Amino acid sequence: MKEWTLTITLMLAGWFMDNVVELSKAEKPKQPSNKPEKPLVVATLGDLLAHPFPQREPVLSPVFNLASLNMVFSARGVGKTHAALGIAYAAATGSSFWTWTATRPFKTLYIDGEMPGESLQTRLAEIVRATDNEPPVGCFSILTIDLNEGMMPDLSTLNGQIAIEPYCQGAELIIVDNLSCLCRSGRENEAESWLSIGEWAMRMRSAGKCVIFIHHAGKNGEQRGTSKREDILDVAIELKRPTDYDPAEGARFIVKYSKARHLTGNDAQSFEAMLQTIGGKQVWTTKPMTESTYDQVIEFHGLGMGVTDIANELAVNKSTVSRAIKKAIEEGAILPKSNVVSIKNRTQNTPKRKDIDNE
């Protein structure tokens, strides 16, 4: 019995010594370093002014430029994917969309994380049918969920960003449709959930690329989730249905700039866009917001609404409504009410009361 005990003890001692030696040879885990992975670059004023940064060439002038970060958002069903595909196709073909124009074809990558393949195919076929412009070979690439067995990379993770990196390298315009489907980690309304995708976006901008995020609007009408997203954006565009919208009209909305760093004057003015079928082809029509407001004022005035109620309904100033009514009367779109007595005439024709009016 003692011999067996001694043998087992020696065997365990030998095993222990062998493993201690192996563990001692193993590479120790690296300790975290406080030093940055890459040395920071600090430039003098002269070096900064002479540095060849990527040119912010207009992609769709005057709104989207290279080396910029942008967002288009709306409530569900308003038409943001119609808009996103129109933007992508115009950029890839060097043509126009709405009031925006491309000077040349730009290499475009469209990342779709939601739409069924057949629906995407149908919408793109309608766009192609409606125009004579075609993208040059290699100028329009599409990464979509139904061609990838229903699985798309999570762009809020490093692995997801690495997965799309080869396709982003050659692209000049990257459209991410949409944030909710393609950035799935973290809580949408927390700023921390945006950190990783925000850093990726900044890298794309530094590489001279134009990135457009497509996103949902929340219940308050603003882009859904953390407002921290807007901090790094150059342009944020809201698509919003007008107050007189009829569901039978399909895609009809107001294009409103909620943020536009470089836009001024008429370029920053909202406008109305509507997708119509004319002669069997889909056609976008646009008109300035002033015209849209003018038409709505006439309609609401005809319903008997007063200036204050119309202004509240359209979210505009009362002076805007008053000018629209005056213009409509001058143009004959609204008939002046002959039975309305002005305040001045009413004052002159009303007998005064000595106990009140003479005080």
pLDDT of 30 over the 70 cut = no
Pair 117, 164 in one domain = yes
C-alpha distances (whole Å) from 183 to each of 101, 112, 197, 225 are 30, 12, 8, 12
C-alpha distances (whole Å) from 286 to each of 97, 213, 275, 291, 292 are 10, 23, 9, 10, 10
Torsion of CA 230, 235, 236, 237, to 10 degrees: 180
Q: What percent of the chain has pLDDT over 90?
A: 53
pLDDT of 57 over the 80 cut = yes
| pLDDT confidence of residue 58 | 96
| pLDDT confidence of residue 191 | 67
Domain tally, the chain:
2
pLDDT of 29 over the 70 cut = no
Helix axes 307-314 and 289-302, enclosed angle (nearest 10): 140
Q: What is the pLDDT of residues 101-142, one digit of tens each?
A: 999 999 999 999 999 999 999 999 999 999 999 999 999 999
pLDDT confidence of 75, banded at 50, 70, 90? very high
pLDDT confidence of 188, banded at 50, 70, 90? low
| pLDDT confidence of residue 136 | 97
pLDDT of 278 over the 50 cut = yes
Last residue of a domain, which of 269, 298, 324? 269
The CATH number given to whatever domain includes residue 294 is 1.10.10
Pair 199, 324 in one domain = no
Pair 281, 265 in one domain = no
Compare 109 and 358 and report the one with higher pLDDT: 109
* Average pLDDT of the residues in 8-12: 47
- Separate counts of helices (H) and strands (E) for the chain: 12, 13
pTM of the model: 0.75
pLDDT of 328 over the 50 cut = yes
Structural domain range at position 329 = 277-333
Last residue of a domain, which of 215, 250, 269? 269
pLDDT of 162 over the 60 cut = yes
C-beta of residue 257 within 8 angstroms of C-beta of residue 237: yes
Rounded to the nearest integer, the mean pLDDT of the chain is 83
* Average pLDDT of the residues in 327-351: 59
| pLDDT confidence of residue 11 | 52
Pair 265, 281 in one domain = no
pLDDT confidence of 294, banded at 50, 70, 90? confident
Which range, of 65-79, 112-126, 184-198, 273-287, averages the lowest pLDDT? 184-198
Which is it for the CA torsion 14, 19, 25, 31, positive or negative? negative
Pair 260, 290 in one domain = no
Q: In the block, which residue shows the tokens 């005080």? A: 359
Pair 281, 182 in one domain = no
Tell me which long-range contacts 115-118 makes (C-beta under 8 A, separation of at least 24): 115/81, 115/144, 115/145, 115/177, 116/146, 117/144, 117/145, 117/146, 117/147, 118/146
Query: Of the candidates 56, 179, 59, 55, which has an alpha carbon nearest to the alpha carbon of residue 108?
Result: 59
